[in-house]
């Protein structure tokens, strides 16, 4: 690992396990101090904090439900209070509520929009108040925004598609401050949300040019690149980390 992120502070939402945990650890391995949020699983989040501390970086875990906008803003402010600054925001926490159109409830609609759309907006709004030149906002979307392979994805695909517009608009707006905003769209990634031995795995692998699921570390490597100096001239972009699922 390099130390491209020495002196930086990152906030990763949903960093207690899966992709967010891999991102948090990778950013720390490259030198950043890292704050992460989780929804309920304190033990898993504490495990990630321990891993980050083991590589010599500072870390805090905060129980913050992304569906609560005041709590999201509070988390951003706490990061700055405890770790001294904020350079990198990774909007990773996501709601994955699937089902046939006629069975999806308004509550599921509200929850999906709250977590997948409002929280990234609110977190970015709060974070850029603290960011200086070189700041990074990295949204985690999904390749479901580009390709609808399975039925039942209306809410999820709709919500993740909004991140394309948010990313472009904020990339334009914040460019003058040398803050970049990008969207990473994972494909099927082996986590508890979408295990590589799950019921749709064979179909997914068949559509995937590389023929297999990503590891969370594959997504984390792309996030780390965008967060580091190599990402300084990339903004408003969508990067698919999906093994060619959408080509």
Nearer Cβ to ligand NAP (65/77): 65
DSSP label of 175 = G
Give, in degrees to the nearest 5, the angle at Cα 205 between 204 and 209: 110
- For the bound state, the minimum distance from the C-beta of residue 1 to ligand NAP, rounded and expressed in Å, comes to 21
For the CB of residue 94, give the shortest distance to ligand NAP in the complex, in Å.
Answer: 2
Asked if 233 is an active-site residue, the reply is no
Q: Taking the complex as a whole, how short is the minimal distance between the CB of residue 127 and ligand NAP, in angstroms?
A: 16
> In what helix (H) or strand (E) does residue 184 lie, and over which residues does it extend?
strand 180-186
Query: What DSSP state is assigned to residue 114?
Result: I
User: String of b and e for 145-177 (b: at least 16 CB within 10 Å)?
Assistant: bbbeeeeebbbbbbbbbbbbebbbebbeebeee
User: β-pairing, 33-38 with 136-140?
Assistant: unpaired
Neighbour count for residue 133 (Cβ, 10 Å): 9
Which of 194, 222 has the CB closer to ligand NAP?
194
| Marked catalytic residue, from 38, 153, 156, 213 | 156
- Which residue, 18 or 228, is less far from ligand NAP as judged by CB? 18
Enumerate residues 6+ apart whose C-beta is below 8 A from 181: 124, 136, 137, 138, 139, 167, 170, 171, 174, 235, 236
| Residue ranges that bind ligand NAP, judged by CB under 6 A | 13-14, 16-20, 37-41, 44, 64-67, 92-94, 96, 115, 140, 142, 186, 188-189, 191-194
Residue 113 or 134 having the CB closest to ligand NAP: 113
CB of 7 to ligand NAP, least distance (A): 26
CB 154 within 8 A of CB 205: no
Q: Catalytic residue positions?
A: 156
């Amino acid at each position: 690992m390099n130390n491209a992120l020495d002196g930086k502070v990152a906030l990763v939402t949903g960093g207690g396990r899966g992709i967010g945990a891999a991102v948090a650890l990778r950013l720390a391995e490259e030198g950043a101090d890292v704050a992460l949020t989780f929804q309920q699983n304190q033990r898993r989040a504490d495990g990630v904090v321990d891993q980050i501390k083991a590589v010599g970086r500072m870390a805090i875990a905060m129980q913050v439900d992304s569906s609560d906008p005041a709590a999201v803003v509070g988390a951003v402010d706490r990061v700055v209070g405890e770790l001294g600054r904020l350079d990198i925001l990774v909007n990773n926490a996501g709601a994955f509520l699937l089902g046939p159109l006629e069975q999806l409830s308004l509550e599921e609609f509200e929850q999906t929009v709250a977590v997948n759309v409002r929280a990234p907006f609110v977190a970015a709004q709060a974070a850029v108040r603290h960011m200086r030149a070189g700041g990074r906002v990295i949204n985690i979307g999904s390749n479901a925004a580009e390709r609808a392979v399975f039925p039942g994805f209306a809410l999820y695909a709709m919500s993740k598609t909004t991140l394309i517009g948010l990313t472009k608009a904020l990339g334009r707006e914040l460019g003058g401050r040398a803050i970049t905003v990008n969207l990473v769209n994972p494909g099927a990634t082996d986590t508890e949300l979408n295990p590589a031995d799950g019921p749709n795995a064979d179909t997914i692998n068949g559509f995937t040019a590389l023929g297999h699921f990503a590891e969370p570390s594959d997504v984390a490597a792309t996030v780390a690149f965008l967060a580091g100096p190599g990402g300084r001239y990339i903004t408003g972009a969508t990067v698919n980390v999906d093994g060619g699922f959408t080509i």
